[in-house]
Structure 1
Amino acid sequence: MNILITGGSGFIGQALVASLKSHHLTILTRNKRKAAKKLGDGHDYIESLQGLTHLNGFDIVINLAGEPIIAKRWTDKQKHKICHSRWDITARITALIQDSKTPPSCFISGSAIGFYGAHGDEMIDEHTSPHNEFSHDICATWEGLALQAQSDKTRVCILRTGIVLGKNGGALKKMALPFRLGLGGPIGDGEQGMSWVHLDDMITLIHFMITNPAVHGIFNATSPTPVSNKVFSKALADTFNRPAKLTMPTWAMRILLGEMASLMTQGQFVLPKRALEAGFNFKYTQLGSALNNIYPD
């Protein structure tokens, strides 16, 4: 297949590109030389979509681009960058699909479980009504732009992604060091939800969407067994044979991160109801086995 990928140099994107190496990939990147060094020379690289007038010839489009949400403090400038790094490219892809005579058969576009906002200890799925806050605003507009590409020729799949666990990137890479040193522990009371998914399951779910023509719409990319921050902290500490007794107070998180602290102090318990109903089988449903796979020693 001919596949167009945005965000291929990111944590999830690198694993996805490696998994699709038997196909012809065109990868959108800001720096072709750096991307080729990271992803390999056997792909086509483009630095902009502006020179394209359609997406005829592409079978699949996978859109994972976007400024990392937790990269920097949420100033007004950073919020604008977080939003428009997602919205603008998604709007452009949708416009190109709409202008295609033979458009891609499938458009897979990223989103996040931040769509739902804070829900306390409630178990939520794709049918749960969201709370209106910044993370929801990002995702609602992002998803709406992607869904405009839906037609009888193109099915759109939206991935509301949780905390993706892998060794070489994402949240776990940042969390691992203090836990290795025995300095990790819960945030606040530790009761907030952490909806996680192993990177392998994330990539397999994308493949599932590619190969199942009946699949379309919204999907939570999370394990069927979300846990509390307290349980997550203990499991990660146990992986390194360390205690998890140090607690990061909520007020300290707010001082350090400002509004962005809400992502870590509130959390969510999100279930992948639609993926399970579609027949997708998660390999890693238990947090302990997922962490042991990532850190076998």
Structure 2
Amino acid sequence: MERSRIAVAGASGLIGGALVRSLTADGHEVVRLVRGAPGAADEVRWDPERGSVDADGLAGCDAVVNLAGAGVGDRRWTAAYKARIRAGRVRGTAALAEAVAGLPEGVRPRVFVNGSAIGYYGETGDRTVDESAPPGEGFLPRLCVEWEAAAAPAREAGVRTAFARTGLVVAHGGGAWGRLFPLFRAGLGGRMGDGRQFWSFVALHDEVAALRHLLDTEGLSGPFNLTAPHPVTNREVTEAMAHVLHRPAVLAVPAPVLRTVLGEMAGDVLGSARVVPARLLASGFRFAFPRIEGAIRAAL
């Protein structure tokens, strides 16, 4: 993509922050969507939970990227927190899509890349799934279906719309691995449950590169799994962490303990999602860190 003006929602998050740094390093102009009063010329106000956005601030942007939303793994899934997760993603996406669709054609963004998650597929066991698979059952699959459907106004207005179904991001500064690294460094890491559940990971470097690939490549629309091509079991993750960090990993967290501590969210930790990036690979994207040990080393 030539030097462009790109609006990013969720710019302060783990993935959004890395994407903004990558874009600005290459000379692109980034407009950040913020919840409070804008404090700079490159900020646009919005309120995802209430479903409002200053549409005029998006005029003239070449693309909009929506990565905003309360963290799914940040706390126990109470009814109130599940409602907050849903509101931020579904209402926020709808607000952005409607704002984009409502702009005159001459100043309307050409591309809308919206966040999603491999939670769309639910529990897959040992079965490998790609973007052609139907949604699973449970809170996360229902959320992802609604989340993606909320982008319909942009797509119907002729804006190329892609969904980034992101896996478990391997990064030092946040997400699931942001919690795992301190545990393993302290020698407290270990498998979760029986360790046979598949984790579909992606290095933060590859996550950002894939988002930029979706922005830059004409004709790419619909869902794309942003996961490395070689998903691994939780036991293999444990072994790779122990090897890279030179720490023992003999402890294990029994499934009943996880269910007691995490509640409904334990199903996401103990569940198996063997997801592959078929459409991303077919589009010509190549991963810098396709294997788990390389992704862990990159994070460090």
What TM-score comes out, normalization by structure 1 length? 0.93
Give yes or no for contact 2:36–2:45 (8 Å, CA) kept in 1: yes
Alpha-carbon distance change, 66 to 237 in structure 1, aligned in 2, over 3 angstroms: same
Task: Give the Cα–Cα distance (whole angstroms) in 2 for the partners of residues 265 and 141 of structure 1.
Answer: 24
Give the 3-state SS of the residue equivalent to 1:251 in structure 2: helix
- 1:69-84 matches, cutoff 5 A: 69-84=72-87
Task: Give the Cα–Cα distance (whole angstroms) in 2 for the partners of residues 97 and 29 of structure 1.
Answer: 17
Task: Give the Cα–Cα distance (whole angstroms) in 2 for the partners of residues 264 and 62 of structure 1.
Answer: 27
AA at the equivalent of 1:47: R
Deviations 1:192-216 (A, max 9, x none): 0100000111111111111111111
Alignment equivalent of 1:135, drawn from 135, 140, 154: 140
Give the 3-state SS of the residue equivalent to 2:154 in structure 1: coil
C-alpha deviation, 1:132, in angstroms: 1.7
RMSD of Structure 2 on Structure 1 (CA):
1.6
**Structure 2 equivalent of residue 44 of structure 1:** 42
**Structure 2 equivalent of residue 186 of structure 1:** 191
**Structure 2 equivalent of residue 5 of structure 1:** 8
**Structure 1 equivalent of residue 49 of structure 2:** none
Unaligned runs of 5+ in 2: 47-51
C-alpha deviation, 1:56, in angstroms: 3.0
Give the length in aligned residue pairs: 288
Alignment equivalent of 1:221, drawn from 223, 226, 247: 226
- 1:153-232 matches, cutoff 5 A: 153-232=158-237
AA at the equivalent of 2:53: Q
Identify which range, 96-105 or 65-74, moves more after superposition.
96-105
Give yes or no for contact 1:162–1:221 (8 Å, CA) kept in 2: yes
Identify which range, 23-32 or 76-85, moves more after superposition.
23-32
Alignment equivalent of 1:245, drawn from 238, 241, 250: 250
Give yes or no for contact 2:135–2:145 (8 Å, CA) kept in 1: no
Does the alignment pair 1:63 with 2:66?
Answer: yes
Does the alignment pair 1:114 with 2:112?
Answer: no
C-alpha deviation, 1:58, in angstroms: 1.3
Unaligned runs of 5+ in 1: none
**Structure 2 equivalent of residue 20 of structure 1:** 23
AA at the equivalent of 2:174: G
Task: Give the Cα–Cα distance (whole angstroms) in 2 for the partners of residues 53 and 18 of structure 1.
Answer: 24
C-alpha deviation, 1:30, in angstroms: 2.4
C-alpha deviation, 1:175, in angstroms: 0.7
Deviations 1:204-258 (A, max 9, x none): 1111111111111110000000000000011011111112111100000000010
Give yes or no for contact 2:44–2:57 (8 Å, CA) kept in 1: no
Percent of matched pairs sharing the same residue: 35
Give yes or no for contact 1:53–1:99 (8 Å, CA) kept in 2: no
Task: Give the Cα–Cα distance (whole angstroms) in 1 for the partners of residues 128 and 218 of structure 2.
Answer: 29
Task: Give the Cα–Cα distance (whole angstroms) in 1 for the partners of residues 36 and 245 of structure 2.
Answer: 37
Task: Give the Cα–Cα distance (whole angstroms) in 2 for the partners of residues 270 and 178 of structure 1.
Answer: 26
